[in-house]
Amino acid sequence: MRGNTVLRNSATKIVIYAVCIFLALLSIFPFWVMFMNATRGTFEIQQHAVTVVPSSHLMDNLRILLGKSFNPLTGFINSLIISCGVTLCTVYFSSLTAYGLVAYSWKLRQPFFTFIMAVLMLPAQVSIIGFYQFMYRIHLTNTFWPLILPAIASPAVVFFMRQYLLGALSLDIVDSARIDGAGEFHTFNRIVLPIMEPALATQAIFSFVFSWNNLFVPLILLTDNKKYTMPIMVSLLRGDIYRTEYGAVYLGLALTVLPLFVFYFLLSRYIISGVALGALKE
Amino acid sequence: MQRKSVSYSKYGYIFSLPFVAAFAVFAAWPLIYTVIIGFTDLRGIGKVAFHFLANPFDNFKTIIENPSFQKSLYTTALIWIMNFIPQIVLGFLLAAWFTNRRLNIKGQGAYKILIYMPNIITAASIAILFNVLFGYPMGPVNDILQSLGLTSGPENFTLMKWNARSVVAFIQFWMWYGNTMIVLIAGILGINPSLFESAEIDGASSVQTFFRITLPSVRTILLFTLVTSLIGGMQMFDIPKLYLLGGPDQATQTAAVFIYNQAFSGSYLYNRAAAASMILFIIIAILSSIVFYILRDKDAIRLNKQRKALIKNAKLRARLAEEGASI
C-alpha cells in the first residue's frame, strides 16, 4: 500500500520534471536557433536551418546587415535615451503623487484616488489618433518628448507606490523632519525616496523594459530614420530588402535581443520577485 | 509671530499637480480629440483642419458595416481566446506543482527564470524571429518536421490561415504564461497555510483542495489577470503586425492592426480610424464590466447587504422608540 503511493508519487514527479524541462527548452530553443544562425551563411541556413554549433559567417552577415538601412547603434542609443527618460519620470513623479496621497490630508484626496483607480486600466492605444494629431499640430512628431513626458502620469505605478508607502512610511519621521526645519520637497527627496528604494527599483525595471519594447507609439510618431528606436529598427528586418538574407536577419534579431538577455539574466531575481510583488499589491 | 499650526494640505495639491497636468495633456485630451475626430472629415496626409460631418455618425456607420473591421474584431477575439485558455490552465498547473510541499520540486528558481524569459524580450523581435522560424521552404520548423519524418516535403505555413492564427496565439501564450504562473504562485503562497493543513487533516484529496481552497482564495488575482489580459489582448498589435503583416487574407489582422492600417499606411483615414478606436474602446469597457460582474465577490456583497440591512433596522427601531417616547 505504502510502496504503491511512493511509486505513484515518483511517477508523478517524473512527469512534472519532464514537463518543466520541456517548457524550459521551449523558452530557449528559438533564441538558440537565432544565435547560431546569426553566425551562419544564408546558404548554410538553407541547407539545414537547425544546428547545435556556430559557424564562421558572423562578419559577412554583419556587413550585409549594416550595408542596408539597419543601424543597431542608433536604435540602441535612441531607445536608451527614451527608456531612461521614461523610467525617471515614472518613478519620480509616481512616488511624488503617491506621497501626496498618503502624507497629506486634503479635501480632494479621496476623489483623486478614486479617479486614479478608475483610469488604472484605461486602454492607451484607443486614443492614438487624437494623440498623433495633437502632437502633429504642436510639432512634436519626430521628437522624443511625446514618448517620455506621458510617463509622468502612470496610474498603475502611483497605485503600487501608494500601497507600498502605506506599509513602509511612518508619519513620525516626516514630523520630526519638519521640526528640524526641513521643507516638504526636501523631506520627500531626502527622507521618503530612500525609504521607497525597493519599490523604486522594481518599478524602474518594469517601466524601462516596457518603454524599451514599445513599438506602437514610436512607429506612429517617429518617421525620421535618425530617430528610430530599437523595435522600429527590428521591424525593418521584415522588409523586402532582407528577403533572402537569412543570416543577416538572424544577426539583426540577435543584436536586438542580446542587450535584453544581459539585462534579464543580471536582474532576473529582482524581476521575478517584482512580478510576484505586483500581484500581491492588487 | 503667532504660528500654532501650519496647514500642509496644500502640498497634497502641489505634489499631485504634475500627474494631473500630464494626464490632462497626454491622456485625457487625446481621448477627447479622438472622439471629436470620429465625427469629422479629417483625412489625408499632413492634414490637421477638419469639418464636422452633416451626418455625425457617418464614420461609425461606415466602420461598423466594413467587413474587414468585423473580421478584425472576430480575429482579435479568436486569437485572444486561443492564447488565454492554455495560458491560464498551464499557469495554474505549474503554480499548483511549484507550491505543493509534498511534491517539493527542485530547481524551481531556474525553471521560473527560463519560463518567464520570453516576456521580457521585445515582441517585435519575437514576431520576426517566428516569421523566419516558420520560413519556407527551409525554415527551422520545416527542417525539424522533415528530419522527424512528420512531413514529406516543405510546408508553406505562411499561406495557411489557421496555422497563421495559431502561431500568433502561440507566441502570445508563450510570452505570457510565465507571467501568469508567477502571479498565481504569489497568490497561492499568500493563502493562510492553516487552511491547507486542516484540509489535509480532514483527508481532502489534492483535487478537492485545489477546487475548494486554492481557487476561491485566488479569485481576486484571477480577476486581475483576466482583465489585464483581456484589455491587452484586445489591443494586440506588435505580433500580428510583424509576423505576417496581418495576412494571409486578413487572417491575423487584429483590430489594432486594422486601425493602424486605416490611419497610417497609405489611406490616412484618420476619421474612420478614430471611429473604429472608439468602437473598440466601448467593446473593451463592456467586456471588462462583464468580467468584473461575473467574478465579483458574491459573499462579500451579501455580507455587506446584511450589514446595511442591520444598520437600517437598528436606525428604524431607534427612531420608532424615539417617536414612541415623544408620544
Window 196-225 of B: residues touching A by CB (8 A cutoff) are 220-221, 224
Is B135 part of any domain? Answer: yes
Q: What does the pLDDT read at residue B246? A: 86
Q: What does the pLDDT read at residue B206? A: 79
Contact between A133 and B190 using a beta-carbon 8 Å cutoff: no
Block residue for cell numbers 510502496: A3
CB A231 within 8 A of CB B124: yes
Domain shared by B284 and B312, yes or no:
no
Is B102 part of any domain? Answer: yes
Domain shared by B199 and B280, yes or no:
yes
3-class secondary structure per residue, A44-106: HHHHCCCCCCCCCCHHHHHHHHHHCCCCHHHHHHHHHHHHHHHHHHHHHHHHHHHHHHHHCCC
Domain shared by B212 and B271, yes or no:
yes
Q: Which domain holds residue B310?
A: 301-327
Q: What residues in B contact A251, CB-CB < 8 Å? A: none
CB B172 within 8 A of CB B79: yes
Residues shown for chain A: 282
User: Which residue from A112, A128, A149 is facing B22, i.e. has the nearest CB?
Assistant: A149
Domain shared by B207 and B113, yes or no:
yes
Is B242 part of any domain? Answer: yes
Mapping DSSP to helix (H, G, I), strand (E, B) and coil, where does residue B52 land? Answer: strand
Contact between A27 and B114 using a beta-carbon 8 Å cutoff: yes
* Interface residue B257 vs chain A (CB under 8 A): no
* Interface residue B244 vs chain A (CB under 8 A): no
Q: What does the pLDDT read at residue B78? A: 96
Contact between B116 and A125 using a beta-carbon 8 Å cutoff: no
B124: domain CATH number is: 1.10.3720.10
Q: What residues in A contact B121, CB-CB < 8 Å? A: 31, 213, 257, 260-261
Domain shared by B110 and B255, yes or no:
yes
pTM, two decimals, is: 0.89
Q: CB-based burial of residue B56 (10 Å sphere; 0-12 exposed, 13-18 middle, 19+ buried)?
A: exposed
Number of domains in chain B: 2
pLDDT by residue for chain A (282 residues), tens only, comes to: 455 666 777 888 899 999 999 999 999 999 999 999 999 888 888 777 788 888 888 888 888 888 887 888 999 999 999 999 999 999 999 999 999 999 999 999 999 999 999 898 888 889 999 999 999 999 999 999 999 999 999 999 999 999 999 988 888 888 888 888 888 999 999 999 999 998 999 999 999 999 999 999 999 999 998 999 999 999 998 887 777 788 889 999 999 999 999 999 999 988 998 988 877 665
Q: Residue A275: which of B167, B240, B95 has the closest Cα? A: B95
Contact between B48 and A277 using a beta-carbon 8 Å cutoff: no
pLDDT by residue for chain B (327 residues), tens only, comes to: 444 456 788 999 999 999 999 999 999 999 999 999 999 998 888 777 888 988 889 999 999 999 999 999 999 999 999 999 999 999 999 998 998 888 888 889 999 999 999 999 999 999 999 999 998 877 888 888 888 888 888 888 888 889 999 999 999 999 999 999 999 999 999 888 888 888 888 888 878 888 888 888 888 888 888 999 999 999 999 999 999 988 788 999 999 999 999 999 878 899 999 999 999 999 999 999 998 888 777 777 777 778 878 887 877 777 777 766 655
Contact between A34 and B113 using a beta-carbon 8 Å cutoff: no
Distance CA A100, CA A197 (A): 17
**C-alpha distances in Å from residue A115, one per residue of A92, A96, B20, B146:** 20, 17, 10, 57
Is B182 part of any domain? Answer: yes
Domain shared by B325 and B256, yes or no:
no
Fill in the DSSP letter of residue B40: B
* Interface residue B301 vs chain A (CB under 8 A): no
Residue of B nearest to A212 (CA): B122
Window 147-176 of B: residues touching A by CB (8 A cutoff) are 147, 174
Domain shared by B239 and B136, yes or no:
yes
Is B148 part of any domain? Answer: yes
User: Which residue from B22, B221, B237 is facing A152, i.e. has the nearest CB?
Assistant: B22
Q: Which three cell numbers stand for residue A2?
A: 505504502
Is B27 part of any domain? Answer: no
Domain shared by B313 and B212, yes or no:
no
Contact between A100 and B15 using a beta-carbon 8 Å cutoff: yes
Domain shared by B286 and B309, yes or no:
no
* Interface residue B26 vs chain A (CB under 8 A): yes
Beta bridge partners of B52: B40
In CATH terms, the fold of domain A71-236 is MetI-like fold (1.10.3720)
Q: What does the pLDDT read at residue B324? A: 66
Distance CA A39, CA A51 (A): 11
Q: What does the pLDDT read at residue A66? A: 86
Domain locations along chain A: 2-57, 71-236
Residue of B nearest to A47 (CA): B138
Q: Dihedral sign, CA of B35, B36, B38, B44?
A: negative
User: Which residue from A104, A124, A282 is facing B224, i.e. has the nearest CB?
Assistant: A282
Distance CA B213, CA B227 (A): 22
Q: Is B44 left (phi over 0), alpha (psi -120 to 50) or beta?
A: left
Contact between A49 and B183 using a beta-carbon 8 Å cutoff: no
